Structure 1
Amino acid sequence: MASPLLSCIFLCFYLSTVHGAGEDSFVTVPSSSFEPESVCSGEFVKPEQNGSTVYVPLVHRHGPCAPAPSLSTDTRSFADIFRRSRARPSYIVRGKKVSVPAHLGTSVMSLEYVVRVSFGTPAVPQVVVIDTGSDVSWLQCKPCSSGQCFPQKDPLYDPSHSSTYSAVPCASDVCKKLAADAYGSGCTSGKQCGFAISYADGTSTVGAYSQDKLTLAPGAIVQNFYFGCGHGKHAVRGLFDGVLGLGRLRESLGARYGGVFSYCLPSVSSKPGFLALGAGKNPSGFVFTPMGTVPGQPTFSTVTLAGINVGGKKLDLRPSAFSGGMIVDSGTVITGLQSTAYRALRSAFRKAMEAYRLLPNGDLDTCYNLTGYKNVVVPKIALTFTGGATINLDVPNGILVNGCLAFAESGPDGSAGVLGNVNQRAFEVLFDTSTSKFGFRAKAC
């Protein structure tokens, strides 16, 4: 291997002569920055209510700050995780403010984000995945037939121990609305309202649609919160207790806060991000872009790209390359771009990374062997949305995941793409369905 001095001379010459771009278009990062920290060194932020906003800590589901990471025994490969994530966008394409701490976790290979909230009276802590691509929240609950409910971090939620729990009657308006939104499953025993959810990644849950008290932070309580009490779940391995739905429909938690919430997904550092429910007027530090929807799929909110820059150079793309819009989804890992846009991005990124050897990969097609490098020079990637809002993706952890470019081809031009959670890392992403706009604030966690 070449000496560090020769490597530096080669890379500097390479960047200045081949790309003709300024130094601010590339970032040299230590190779250790790609690896997650094994110990939670950041102070875990406690849930709190600040005026009209509730803040809940947000963490990666298997990260060092996740609750009881020692219980995480899932050791799926990155390829397995990617296949699960890719199934999701493939399927998609067809009150007061509260904030809760959130973290990234990688002690096992999972790339989802979780918050700890509490259900019932007395309040029982539960670890749930935040999902902007789902409307109905759910937990695994007792009773559950042997082999139907999967291992999780906490004991199964027992609604019989909560003095504020009640099952939703089958004949109620709430149950009829659930069925109208395609989440109903008829009546369970005792004329309870049934719910059923199936995800493209193989996860599904069925059970009784219910209501109980949801505690987000001290003093921040959602009374009569509707959720699914699942008595049967089929899923990939994972220790989360359920899902917190943040979609656009009336069943979601976001709807209880006027359709306004934000979150910051932390990268591979050991510090938490947050989920903030509700928002004040005219928040500062954000850039804004219009919010769109997907015809026939009202759960999802979209942004529209207007341009992409790689290493300081704007890709030569017509507006038609982005016409399908991009679903903003916290539950999808890899960003899916339409064919023309993705191929242009891939070509420019590979050219900028010619100093490193491409690594064959059956799932993502732009991966690198970075073993042996003390520092890695990564081109910046900037996404510009309609209205002029531009975000510079976090380097390197908003661009590369497991040594791979965190983008893939989602489908033909004109179809919907997906803005995955890797690209969203370190930004506060504001959903405001009341004014139909998205906001992005850099370096928020």
Structure 2
Amino acid sequence: MPMAPPPLLPLSALLLLLAAASHASAKPVQTQALLATPLSPDRVSAPSELARDDDSNVFAAAEDAAASTVRFRVVHRDDFSKNATAAELLAYRLERDEKRAARLSAAAGAANGTRRGGGGVVAPVVSGLAQGSGEYFTKIGVGTPATPALMVLDTGSDVVWLQCAPCRRCYEQSGQVFDPRRSRSYGAVGCAAPLCRRLDSGGCDLRRSACLYQVTYGDGSVTAGDFATETLSPGGFSLFDTCYDLSGRKVVKVPTVSMHFAGGAEAALPPENYLIPVDSKGTFCFAFAGTDGGVSIIGNIQQQGFRVVFDGDGQRVAFVPKGC
């Protein structure tokens, strides 16, 4: 499935960020060289060795029959994703990462005694002044994968709506416009569906057999469009909310990102561990995301190439660069 196109910033914006950071800090900003290789547009096939049924291809016992060691051949799960593009594989990984992060946040919240009760939903509330509105908004994610959006906290309406692509006669909005064609969880509501008949002011597009809604507000403004069901996620933090167009460039200098730990320890990340390609056009995005529950997660992209050492007796964790 093609991924939703992220908002792009020109390379000059990255350089401006670098210059601003250099001006604000007494230390010169460290930079690294990033190989700007985009994702391949070609579809990948499962390796031919996966098709063989030979047990020796799966595991091999040690030559010494008395030994208790068994050697297993490790196969990446992407090898089983036949006829998938690199962008589709990335979308699958992000979906799995989102679920793992939710489980870790929930477990950390339970351990800290901050588990949410009653099936409630917690999401940040922000002022709409930056959007030219006196109302309050909450950040949500719409669809799968999630597109970030700001939703007005309007308790007087029973229909939640947003602008969708392709958008006709729509107002100019800040942020990305939701594209239902790129969401795996979007579901159109048919004209004969019970949900459609519950609308106060509904209609039907007979050509598409699609349910239509219309809401009129007290100030005379009107919104109308397709009525559908979709997955909403609280928080609405987009993993790829900061992206750059590096098309046509082979090598780019980028600021070094480091993890700082208590006691002064520091681990500098290679550029490919935080600025990754997301399509075949040369779009690169920062691979960072927020979490709920007050827990910080060092993701698998950041851990690439590091050997992680666990010192159980000393209650310490070590990160050894270029250890893999």
Q: TM-score range by the shorter chain?
A: 0.3 to 0.5
Higher relative contact order (CA 8 A, sep 6+): 2
Look at both structures and tell me which one has the larger radius of gyration over its CA atoms: 2
Query: TM-score, structure 2 length as denominator?
Result: 0.38
Q: Name the structure with the higher strand share.
A: 1
